[in-house]
């Protein structure tokens, strides 16, 4: 399922940065609404070495990373990666990862996603996630 990109100012500019061991590893761009508490970002690694390090499952599964605001350097302490996204990212199947509690700053929004748009997206995601149980088809295909 394609992410519902948020209507934000300058989506290609970093919203947040991924840091590992006090080293900047990647920028997070193009925020997309996933569901109630989750937002997806496209990762842009600093270089090829950082890209390899970011593809390690343990990094995301054991939360061995920090998310920082690019201007202030403040750490988003309650954010975590989750869902299928970081597993697919580690297998190089996607360039996006879902984060809980990591919404773009309010000043970067043109307009937030409408309530109707969020409801329709939620219903669509609910159907695709439960399709496997209903008709025996994997939601990721």
- Overall number of domains in the chain: 1
Q: What is the radius of gyration, based on Cα positions, of the chain?
A: 15
Domain that holds residue 12: 4-133
Least reliable range by pLDDT among 34-48, 67-81, 112-126: 112-126
Beta-carbon contacts of 36 under 8 Å, excluding residues fewer than 6 positions away, are 122
d(CA 19, CA 7): 26
Flag whether pLDDT at 77 surpasses 90. Answer: no
Residue 51 lies in a domain: yes
d(CA 40, CA 1): 12
Among 3-7, 11-15, 41-45, 110-114, which is the least confidently predicted range? 110-114
Q: For residues 92 and 85, what is the distance between their CA atoms, to the nearest angstrom?
A: 10
Residue 139 lies in a domain: no
pTM of this prediction? Answer: 0.75
pLDDT digits (tens, 9 = 90+) for 87-133: 999 999 999 999 998 888 877 777 655 566 566 666 766 665 555 45
Token pair of 77, please?
A: 């302490």
Decide if 141 is inside a domain.
no
Q: How far apart are CA 15 and CA 2, in angstroms?
A: 20
Cβ atoms < 10 Å from Cβ of 71: 8
DSSP 46: S
Q: Is residue 91 part of a domain?
A: yes
């Amino acid at each position: 399922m394609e992410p519902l990109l948020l209507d934000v100012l300058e989506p290609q500019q970093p919203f947040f940065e991924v840091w590992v061991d006090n080293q900047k590893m990647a920028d997070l761009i193009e925020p997309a609404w996933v569901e109630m508490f989750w937002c997806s970002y496209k990762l842009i690694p600093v270089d090829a070495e950082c890209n390899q390090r970011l593809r390690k499952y343990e990094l995301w599964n054991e939360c061995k990373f920090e998310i920082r605001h690019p201007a202030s350097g403040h750490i988003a302490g309650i954010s975590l990666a989750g869902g299928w996204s970081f597993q697919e990212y580690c297998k190089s199947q996607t360039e996006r990862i879902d984060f809980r509690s990591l919404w773009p700053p309010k000043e970067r929004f043109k307009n937030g996603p409408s309530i109707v748009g969020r409801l329709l997206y939620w219903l669509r995601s609910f159907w695709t996630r439960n399709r496997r149980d209903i008709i025996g088809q994997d939601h990721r295909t």
